Amino acid sequence: MTHSRTSRRLLRSAVGASAAVLLAGGTTLAVGSAVADGVDGTHSERTTAIARPDNRAFPGSGAVVRRGTQSASQEADDTQVAGLVRIQTEVDFGEGEAAGTGMVLTSDGEVVTNHHVVAGATAIEATDMATGRTYTARVVGTDASDDVAVLRLEDASGLTTVRTDTDGLSVGDAVTAVGDANGTADLSSAAGTVTALDRSITTQSEQTVQGERLTGLIELDADVISGDSGGATYDAEGEVVGMTTAASSGSAEVTGYAIPIDRVLAVADDLSDGVSGADYTYGLPAFLGVALGQGGTLAGVYDDSAAASAGLAAGDTITAIDGTSVSGTSGLSRAIAAHSPGDEVSLTWTDQAGASHDATVTLGDGPVA
């Protein structure tokens, strides 16, 4: 089932402006690198978050070629495919695409994946790889600190769920990572062994110096690559023991990382139940629909957004929200972050000629935070 959408495009953007989409909360879209260190603090290597190949990087057909061995991966068998979904996201209101993997937790459509698989998404679909049916997915909640997100598939029922094993692993245990490697839409598997437990990594996006610290991870020598994120790491009995999350880069030796499934399930339960948490985010942020330049001046306005409906344009400066003065990028961001999609807010702004304007708008849904 294919869904058509009208994409929002950034209109009237100011040339040369350093723009950042204004929404309630920040997101990181790009595949990133990371530094991993062992529990003894002596091990260090470059690693990569592995979920977000863009649409230009998708191979057209053929077997997946994995790093390191440069050999074709194994096609995932029926037992490995059962309970897994391919996640496809639109980024920046249709301007980009990305793909990853997810695991079905309930027969009525609760799915868990990595936060970085869906971060920045403005539309999400998930394809049940056992049946080929595609569902629209909405975000229930995310936990950026643990890199976990829970999705709900609309109108889903009777789905096959993954089988999990929370008894733990030992170094040397055989494991297999299964996911949508390189976004080919065909799940593939990569076999390996557990090489270490309780590892820590700090992910770092190519677009920011700020990284996410992930701890307590399973380290494995399976050759996981882009698109595998959010997929299953199976044990020798075919039960899920982890959620594939990151992989090494810039090294001949392949190192993958997975979040232990007991932690994944604990976070997923919290998010499903709406538990309050310092790093838990629920639903979607409010979205005004502007891109900001330096000093709070608008660098552009997204088509079909609240800002566009009010007549805002590049070069304008928003001076007040609901009668309260705002200044600069951070002030405007905080003001919007205090609201939810569907809220009505009053805007006051000055145009490039210095004239003042007022309008009341309804905030839309922003990208996944």
Last residue of a domain, one of 222, 246, 281: 281
H/E stretch holding 358:
strand 356-362
**Cα-Cα-Cα-Cα dihedral sign, residues 84, 90, 92, 96:** positive
Same-domain status, 311 and 193: no
SS3 call for 332: helix
Q: Are residues 232 and 302 in the same domain?
A: no
Q: What is the DSSP letter of 314?
A: T
Tell whether 245 and 131 lie within a shared domain.
yes
Domain count, the chain: 2
The two tokens of residue 116 are 């970085």
Q: What is the CA radius of gyration of the chain?
A: 21
pLDDT at 249: 63
Task: Let me know if residue 159 belongs to a domain.
Answer: yes
Check whether residue 248 and residue 329 sit in a common domain: no
For the chain of 369 residues, list the mean pLDDT of each consecutive stretch of 10: 36 31 26 32 40 30 36 59 94 81 98 94 94 97 95 97 93 95 84 95 55 88 89 95 85 82 98 92 92 85 91 93 90 91 95 94 92
Residue spans of beta strands (DSSP E) within 51-133: 74-75, 84-91, 96-104, 110-113, 121-128
pTM value?
Answer: 0.78
pLDDT attached to residue 59: 25
Is the same domain home to 85 and 127? yes
Asked whether residue 4 is assigned to any structural domain, the reply reads: no
Largest Cα separation within the chain, whole Å, is 70
Q: What is the SS3 assignment for 268?
A: helix
Answer whether residue 142 is part of any domain.
yes
Whole domain around residue 21: which residue ranges? 10-25+285-365
Check whether residue 341 and residue 218 sit in a common domain. no
- Say if residues 97 and 86 touch (Cβ distance below 8 Å): no
Do 39 and 118 have their domain in common?
yes
Return the pLDDT at 211. 62
Indicate whether 1 belongs to any domain: no
For 14-51, give the DSSP string.
PTT---EEEESS----S-EEEEEE-TTS--EEEEEE-S
238 and 108, same domain (yes or no): yes
Please tell me whether residues 222 and 75 are part of one structural domain.
yes
pLDDT at 20: 29
- Write the CATH number for 46: 2.40.10.120
- Give the CATH number, domain containing residue 316: 2.30.42.10
Which residues 6+ apart lie within 8 Å of 275 measured at CB? Answer: none
Q: Are residues 64 and 204 in the same domain?
A: yes
**Residue in this structure with the two tokens 């390996």, named with its chain if needed:** 192
Angle at 97 between CA 96 and CA 103, to 5 degrees: 150
Instruction: Give the span between the Cα atoms of 229 and 245, in whole angstroms.
Output: 5
pLDDT of residue 94: 67
- Residue 121 Cα distances to 6, 135, 143, 367, angstroms: 15, 15, 15, 5
Do residues 243 and 324 both lie within one domain?
A: no
Residues 213 and 84 in one domain: yes
